[in-house]
Amino acid sequence: MNAKQGMKRAEGLTIVVPVFNEAAGLAALHAKLMSLATRLRDQRGLKLEIVYVDDGSRDDSFAIARSLPADAADVQALSLSRNFGKEAALLAGLDHARMGAILFMDGDGQHPPELAEKLVALWQDEHYDVAYTAKAHREEEPVTRQLSAKIFYRVLNFNARQPIPEDAGDFRLLSPRAADALRQMPERNRFFKGLSSWIGFRQIRVPYEPAPRAHGASSWNIGALLGLSIEGLTAFSAAPLRIASLLGVLLSATAFLFGSWILFETIVLGRGVPGYPSVMVAIMVIGGVQLLVLGVMGEYIAKILSELKRRPSYFVAESELRELDSTKKPVSREAAE
């Protein structure tokens, strides 16, 4: 992977598309991307490359991806050795991109290619380094989800020098220098929304309305969302640890006051301590809080461990590159009919 970091990249744009069980819509998406590539080439002379990263799909997404025609842009198809998760798929795309600028776009058709043109304009005409899209509003989501998102960003950005923008999606364009900065991040645990804001440079928010999923179902469930949230929190914020310490201080202070009062009652007022309920409450509160704080520390220790192991974030099982002018030199095309 390090060799790829030093690699010299061509002037142009690579669109990275993570693909997990998207066989049903891949061809339609590719057709749209090809017409986008044609427009960008005609209007701006911009060279395009599409990188499909198959994240261990169980359907024939990869077979489809590798047989898609390179009509208007270079096409790379990578398949990872198993399902590593979307963030790892994005990293694989970032590493294998052959053009300087990067556009991350979902493979389920929720990210409109038309908006991509606007992002390209912001980069090329107005020289922004990071153009990220964000959901214009969340009213249609359940209240509990809205609330948990609010709390998540509040804790995440607690005391942060470079706050991570709320509701930003993974649909974003990075200029060559921003993409390079992203590649220099040494950590294994990736939280791209956070990282691409953390690097700085000139950032701009583009509000948009995600299209409904064209087919299939979102692969995020409560567990996966919770996992990503913990991932984001522990990667970008020490606030949970700080909250834990504050809680400790608060409880100790209360315990001290309460203890003094009991002593006063026993010694000065001469009252026996009836005590059972209060003792039980104290034991339960302290026991609960200790477990909670231990759990929070455990999350950070788990993170330290996984960074220490320095395992690669993904393995590529197969890859295929089809260049735009491949009409001249035939490329291996076993998967074609």
By the criterion CB under 6 A, which residues form the site for ligand UDP?
18-20, 22, 55, 83, 85-86, 89, 106-108, 110, 218-220
Residue 129 near which of ligand UDP, Mg ion, none (CB within 5-8 Å, type-dependent): none
CB nearer ligand UDP, residue 128 or residue 314? 314
Residue 86 near which of ligand UDP, Mg ion, none (CB within 5-8 Å, type-dependent): ligand UDP
SS3 130: strand
Phi, psi values for residue 168, rounded to 5°: -65, 140
Q: Does 108 bind Mg ion (CB under 5 A)?
A: yes
Closest CA to 169 of 123, 202, 130: 130
Distance CA 87, CA 229 (A): 13
Least distance to Mg ion, CB of residue 94, Å = 19
CB nearer ligand UDP, residue 19 or residue 34? 19
Closest CA to 197 of 213, 181, 209, 216: 181
Q: Helical H runs in the chain? A: 2-5, 23-44, 61-66, 86-96, 113-124, 143-156, 176-183, 192-198, 222-236, 239-267, 276-309
Closest CA to 37 of 143, 119, 116, 97: 116
Least distance to Mg ion, CB of residue 218, Å = 5
CB nearer ligand UDP, residue 106 or residue 129? 106
CB nearer Mg ion, residue 211 or residue 331? 211
Least distance to ligand UDP, CB of residue 36, Å = 17
Tell me the window of 69-77, 102-110, 138-146, 325-333 that interacts with Mg ion (CB under 5 A). Answer: 102-110
- Diameter of the chain measured on Cα atoms: 101
Element containing residue 13 per DSSP (H, E): strand 10-19
CB nearer Mg ion, residue 39 or residue 86? 86
Q: Are 123 and 175 in contact (CB under 8 A)?
A: yes
CB nearer Mg ion, residue 110 or residue 229? 110
Q: Does 110 bind Mg ion (CB under 5 A)?
A: yes
Phi, psi values for residue 124, rounded to 5°: -80, -40
Least distance to ligand UDP, CB of residue 55, Å = 4
Least distance to Mg ion, CB of residue 108, Å = 4
Tell me the window of 12-20, 110-118, 136-144, 234-242 that interacts with Mg ion (CB under 5 A). Answer: 110-118
Least distance to ligand UDP, CB of residue 53, Å = 7
Instruction: List interacting residues with Mg ion (CB under 5 A).
Output: 108, 110
